[in-house]
Structure 1
Amino acid sequence: MQSNLFVCCLLLLCTALGEAATRKPKKQPAAEASNTAKADPEPTDASQPKTLARGWGDSIQWVQTYEEALAKCRELRKPLMVIHHLEDCPFSQELKKAFSADNMAQKLARDDFVMLNVVHPVADENQSPDGHYVPRVMFVDPSMTVRTDLAGRYSNRLYAYEAGDIPELITNMKKAKILLKTEL
């Protein structure tokens, strides 16, 4: 009972963090905005990830932005897999460990997909059809269609995957490949 309560609390925390990340900051008056901009230092390289992989698999070629991912998806005629996550979310961390440790998931990602992992919301609202929770995995085919039919096993968070759901994620990755070949 306590473990279920703990898992629920963690899921709610990750959901709240994901929704907080998507909120737009309040606009400041012009005078305050210019003063704040001068006072805030530029981000340093230490605050940036060392690679685009962010721990999800160094042998995979990752793209930097959603727009770049869509262009590559269309150019290479490969499906796009977008992993929405947060660095400080325990569920995201566990999924990352499981995904990076699974040889089949890594091989499929490396060979058959354009890959993007994001820690910030993307402008395409189709990437959050049932909320801005994390971790969330979505597939997009080269016709720019978000594959809402490729969902995980949870009815309340359709595109959520946990560390133990890697076999289901691999199944959906294979479906994304098969659907691509039969529909395009």
Structure 2
Amino acid sequence: MMMAPFNFNNGLNLALFSIVFLSLSSRVCVEASSKSLARGWGDHFEWHSLSDGLELAAKVNKPIMVIIHKTWCGACKRLMGEFSQNKDIPKLAKDFVFVNLENDEEPEDNKYAPDGGYIPRILFVDSKANVKGRHLNEQGHHKYRYFYSNADQVFITMKKVLLTWHYHGDKIEPDGEGGQVYDEL
């Protein structure tokens, strides 16, 4: 049995083809965009720009992890390699919005450099771009509280961030500044 060729002259066929093509194209573009924003930090994570991350976090009510780094920075490259290969971070990634800021994308607002402009810095913020000061590297140097020298330190802080947010169905809601701790992960 011979099949009839797909006829674009039929308005319905053209409309259906357009819908399917656009939906597949947009998915490919989103995936390509997320991968291009990974910049070596892990293509298996969903990455966002700061503005898109803030908007998404407001919709899904998740904390934002902001990574600020430079392409020329040796410490950034070491942490990037560990972060992208870490086996534990993906377990928590679904509960965060990941934002990757490289080179000139670093915001000029001083709130993104609460204790200095060193790199790399990893900050945990809410959807209103408020840096959560209690979420810092407790194992790090007291002068560089948002500097992480290895991925295990990042994972520990990610767990602490989630412990200060509580779950209601599929939503994670921030607690007050006191950071009440709920069930351990």
Same fold (TM over 0.5): yes
Query: How far apart, CA to CA, are the structure 1 residues paired with 2:95 and 2:175?
Result: 16
Show the counterpart of 1:127.
Answer: 112
Cα distance 1:174–1:50, how it changes in 2: closer, same or farther (>3 A)?
closer
1:1-184 equivalences under 5 Å are 51-64=36-49, 66-109=50-93, 111-119=94-102, 120=104, 121-142=106-127, 144-152=129-137, 153-163=140-150, 166-181=151-166, 183=175
TM-score relative to the length of structure 2: 0.66
Runs of 4+ in 1 over 3 A off after TM superposition: none
Equivalenced residue count is 132
Once the two structures are TM-superposed, the CA of residue 57 in structure 1 deviates from its matched residue by 0.8
Tell whether the 8 Å contact from 1:57 to 1:106 is kept in structure 2 after alignment: no
RCO higher in structure (CA 8 A, sep ≥6): 1
- Superposed CA RMSD: 1.9
1:99-143 CA deviation, whole Å, 9 max, x = no partner? Answer: 01101113322x111001111321432111111110000001245
Once the two structures are TM-superposed, the CA of residue 144 in structure 1 deviates from its matched residue by 3.9
Q: Bigger radius of gyration, 1 or 2?
A: 2
**In structure 2, the residue corresponding to 1:115 is in which secondary structure?**
strand
TM-score relative to the length of structure 1: 0.66
Runs (5+) with no aligned partner, structure 1: 1-48
